[in-house]
Structure 1
Amino acid sequence: MRQFPLEMHQMAPGRVVEWRLRSTAGAAADAGGAGGPVGGAADGVPADAAGRRASFNQDKHFTVAEESRGADDPVASWIAVTFEVTGVLDEQALTGALLAFVRRHEVLRCEFRRLAGELACEPIAAAELALDTVPVAAFDCSEALRGFLVDRFKRSIDTLSWPLFTMGAVLRGESATVYLAFDHIVCDGLSMPIVVHEVQSAYEALCRGEEIDLPPAPSYLDFAEEQRRRYLSIDAGDDRLGYWKSFMARGGGEFFPRFPLELGVEPDRMYPIVNEASPLLDAAEAEVFEKVCRAVDGKPFMGVLAAVAVCLREAGGPGVYRGFMPVSERGRTGWANSVGWFVNTMPIEFDASPGRDFAQVMAAVRAGFGEMMRHIDVPFVRAWQLLAPAEFAARSWPYPVNFFSYIDTRKCPGAERHEDWRPTSHVWSARANGACSWFQRDTAGLHMNSIYVDTAAARRTMDDFQEALRATVREIARHGSFRRPVALTAPRRPLGTPLNGAAPYAPSALRS
């Protein structure tokens, strides 16, 4: 399972149907399940009743959506997943699987509204939810289908309206592609494998005439309440913010670690995005890369991060790597099967200065990661609010920020069935002012997806950086070291063209 732009998905055409969620009672029923207004009471809950509170991530995300809407400058994004069903689709069984999935995860049943200045999330009772199957359109070419889905996700997903996701399928004679797209407020990237696993497992059980049997999935709303209980009352003098303060002090007092290469952006301006993906290592190379990393007491993600740091340095960045790294909060607290935004973003810093060999940089990464993990509990949004209040009031990060994310999808729920289900994930954002890169490891190898500003400088910088990174991780796999300085002289590539002539992503190439 890997992440790449939806526009690159070679999805076979067919007949599109969607499942529209609606409530059978109250205000949600009046909205018809098509995205009713936020702000009314949830079903059966008086308008003045105290609801459950959103998490810090959700509150900030919703606030940005409110403020940008009020300024007629809307911020939009979505996270989507697709997977394959072989054979003629049993629409009744899929309807049951999708409905069971939504009922199972309380965060998906929530309406968000302001309550005494805080963001409340009112879950609609699971028994009051229903799905309507709606024929949408038919397509005879993949390009038109992809264009429809991209536009559909943009139009149907709105942070300020319920429901906060859309569900559908592309039906063909002997197969179907199921899709679900979500607003970030209800999920994160690691939720996508959970979606695939649960919907497919439930669908297959219902097709066999069996009951759905899935492991417990505690509510994300419980996680949010516990997080707020622990950290809402802290102030800027709290000792638990010491790691953040020391990181800021070493960075000239800045909360956000800057992306160190030229992207050609102006202050306080957002830009359209480039969204592209390419393979870095094939399956055999990734296996060797992992062995090399473990031989020096590291993990594969540490090796990728070390390579990123060296490539940034060779391109003119500093010898000390400083960046943000999202860390999942599921495994530490028993939320492995839950859908929600279980991500804490943390700063990491380590020495990758010239003259250090691979083992030395890996040791620095390991030490930096260990120090970061010792301070993982403080929520990113809360630290941001307390330590950089002026920047917290803005609707975006203040300048291009150095960001690194890595997921090994072979360890996700349902990974043993990815060969059959062929899942893919996709992210999209309307605008940006910097660059973000996500790395995924699956049984087919190591892959990279980047979203960055659409400027001439950024295209040149990211083209060169991606080519240099690919060469560097291959050097590590082949020789166990950086071996030689990386030459950043890659030729310019058209948007969406895979690196080094690699084949574009297609269903046949997505078996993982």
Structure 2
Amino acid sequence: MHVTAIDRYEIEPGTLTEWTLAPTDELVRSDVPPSYNQQFHLETARTHGVGASVWMAASFDLPAPVNRVALRRTLELIVRRHDALWTGFEVRPDRITRLTVPPHAVAVTPSAAVEFGDTASLRTHLRARFTEVCDPLTFPAFLFATVERAGSSTVLAAFDHTIVDGYSLVIAIRELRQVYELLCATPDIADEDVHVDLDDPGSFMSFCVEESAEEDVDASDPRIRAWARFYESCGGTAPRFPLPLGVQPGKPAPQASDVRSILDTQDTARFEEVCLAGGGAMFSGVLTAIGTALRREGAPALLPLQFPLHTRLDPRWEGSIGWLTTSAPVTVRVDRPDDFAAALADTHSSFRSALNVLGVSMPQVRAGVGDGYRRTSTDLFMVSFIDYRRLAGSEHHRSINAHHISNVTVCDDAQFWVSRTTEGLSIRSRFPDTPVARDTMERFLTRLAEVLTEVCDGRSTLQQPEADLVLVESAV
């Protein structure tokens, strides 16, 4: 899975068709509340309004023109499988209400075809249409599209963030491809027989219900105390990127993005070997490299940040499309930017401690820390890591040209998505589009490449592995 942003998405031009959900019944109000993540996202969307749509899209290629009958049926079956796709929201100043449509009352309608002769114009059009349709304050907040050529096609599925997380895009690609190929091969197969061949999709709305019923966790709980200490180290708010970005917290600027490979396959394997030999793991090694690069650019020795993790450990939601993530705090300590081994050991210890806070949700954390946390910015300093090789269906990602595509909106902090695939390690960066931030990010990313190269070349001191260390890696 290649992780990128819409302004950098390289798609071959062709004939575009949109496939839009057209409900055949009225939306009705539901007692199921939005999840914590959904509520936060909807309140932010209401604040920033049109043009700030935080959508994510998945795309993959087919080796032939689209079988339109099979694709239309595929899209309808996928929508009916996942209850996150049946819902929208009515957002008012005093409340947020979920609206739903019955799963049997959905139909997908193709638009008239439009020809695009170059990548830039197609990319611009897709960005505008996804931003318009994938609006969390409308229903449906998702859109399917195909781009057809003489010998191939690209299928795209774009969703507002209220509906999906990054893991969901992998599920969407796997199921869309699996169902489409099945219907092409056996067009007379009954719907119920198609579902038999797929994993249980679970119910994201059930997750929302269970989350809303959680009881508060006492402030004396060790997990709440750990969060309180973390927020205190950040000045009573969320962590901030430690180098200048040219914006004030709470005053987002237009967003810039950067997508680059940072290690090839061979060097990624070498980097992992070094991390394991030093008593760490791949993710703690990546965090240490980021902390070292920032330290060399003048950042403080202590680097607090948050990282997302999926909450799909319960098998009921393992195959669900939905926003099923939480967050954990970690502090990277780099006393000496030339001693990767020492920093790695400290980072991995902090990472393992961070996993101890799991089991309390972010609503429970915010309630537990109370006045110990105040929101001062729209975004926070975050590093995400995902090893796509571990996810079902990833063995096909390269052959089908699978992409995770994010919108370019506004932001007031820097965030990073590090991904590992069979091609190696890459990083997508999101940061304010200011001269200061662009200069900062280029220097930082250059330093990061420098640190990674040094580690792979063996120019950093290493300690012996701890025999009793249990390695646990993030798989967000």
TM-score, length basis structure 2: 0.89
Match of 1:158 in 2: 135
User: 1:305: how far off?
Assistant: 0.8
Identical residues among aligned pairs (%): 28
Partners of 2:60 and 2:400 within 8 A in 1: yes
Please show how residues 48-447 of structure 1 align to structure 2 within 5 Å: 51-69=31-49, 75-113=52-90, 118-209=95-186, 210=189, 211-212=193-194, 213-231=197-215, 233-234=216-217, 240-251=223-234, 253-332=235-314, 334-354=316-336, 357-384=339-366, 387=369, 396-397=378-379, 401-447=380-426
Partner AA of 2:231 in structure 1: M
Q: d(CA) in 1 for partners of 2:314 and 2:353?
A: 16
- 1:414-463 per-residue CA deviation (whole Å, 9 max, x = no partner) reads 11111321101111242111111111110111111111111111111100
Q: d(CA) in 2 for partners of 1:463 and 1:271?
A: 18
Partner AA of 1:344 in structure 2: T
- 1:330-389 per-residue CA deviation (whole Å, 9 max, x = no partner) reads 135552211111111221114221177333222212211111111122223553466466
User: 1:266: how far off?
Assistant: 2.9
Dislocated runs of 4+, deviation >4 Å = 114-118, 233-240, 388-395
Q: d(CA) in 2 for partners of 1:329 and 1:473?
A: 30
Partners of 1:7 and 1:146 within 8 A in 2: yes
- 1:46-99 per-residue CA deviation (whole Å, 9 max, x = no partner) reads x5xx52111111111112223444xxx763221111110112221111111111
Rate the CA distance shift 1:181–1:287 in 2: closer, same or farther, 3 A: same
Does the residue aligned with 1:13 lie in a helix, a strand or coil? coil
Rate the CA distance shift 1:238–1:473 in 2: closer, same or farther, 3 A: same
Does the residue aligned with 2:162 lie in a helix, a strand or coil? helix
Does the residue aligned with 2:405 lie in a helix, a strand or coil? strand
Residue 457 of structure 1 pairs with residue 441 of structure 2: no
Partners of 1:220 and 1:338 within 8 A in 2: yes
Partners of 1:97 and 1:206 within 8 A in 2: yes
- 1:257-308 per-residue CA deviation (whole Å, 9 max, x = no partner) reads 2211111213442101111201101111111112222222322111111100
Partners of 1:52 and 1:122 within 8 A in 2: no
Match of 2:454 in 1: 475
Rate the CA distance shift 1:84–1:323 in 2: closer, same or farther, 3 A: same
Rate the CA distance shift 1:240–1:271 in 2: closer, same or farther, 3 A: same
Partners of 1:57 and 1:381 within 8 A in 2: no
Rate the CA distance shift 1:436–1:350 in 2: closer, same or farther, 3 A: closer
Does the residue aligned with 1:275 lie in a helix, a strand or coil? strand
Q: d(CA) in 2 for partners of 1:444 and 1:181?
A: 25
Q: d(CA) in 1 for partners of 2:6 and 2:355?
A: 33
Stretch moving more, 444-453 or 384-393: 384-393
Does the residue aligned with 1:230 lie in a helix, a strand or coil? coil
Does the residue aligned with 2:112 lie in a helix, a strand or coil? strand
Match of 2:14 in 1: 14
Partners of 1:85 and 1:421 within 8 A in 2: yes
Q: d(CA) in 2 for partners of 1:448 and 1:68?
A: 27
User: 1:160: how far off?
Assistant: 0.6
Q: d(CA) in 2 for partners of 1:105 and 1:179?
A: 17
Q: d(CA) in 2 for partners of 1:119 and 1:457?
A: 38
User: 1:172: how far off?
Assistant: 1.1
- 1:100-123 per-residue CA deviation (whole Å, 9 max, x = no partner) reads 111111011112236995534343
Rate the CA distance shift 1:446–1:262 in 2: closer, same or farther, 3 A: same
Q: d(CA) in 2 for partners of 1:391 and 1:151?
A: 36
Q: d(CA) in 1 for partners of 2:142 and 2:319?
A: 19
Rate the CA distance shift 1:355–1:130 in 2: closer, same or farther, 3 A: closer
Partners of 1:68 and 1:395 within 8 A in 2: no
Q: CA RMSD in A?
A: 2.4
Match of 2:2 in 1: 2
Aligned residues: 455
Partners of 2:243 and 2:440 within 8 A in 1: yes
Partners of 2:384 and 2:417 within 8 A in 1: yes
User: 1:243: how far off?
Assistant: 1.3
- 1:473-502 per-residue CA deviation (whole Å, 9 max, x = no partner) reads 12212216279xxxxxxxxxxxxxxxxxxx
Consecutive unaligned residues in structure 2, runs of 5 or more: 463-476
Partner AA of 2:35 in structure 1: S
Partners of 1:109 and 1:123 within 8 A in 2: yes
Rate the CA distance shift 1:63–1:293 in 2: closer, same or farther, 3 A: same
Partners of 1:346 and 1:380 within 8 A in 2: no
TM-score, length basis structure 1: 0.83
- 1:114-160 per-residue CA deviation (whole Å, 9 max, x = no partner) reads 69955343432211111111124111112211111111111222111
Does the residue aligned with 1:10 lie in a helix, a strand or coil? coil
Does the residue aligned with 2:312 lie in a helix, a strand or coil? coil
Q: d(CA) in 1 for partners of 2:461 and 2:148?
A: 48
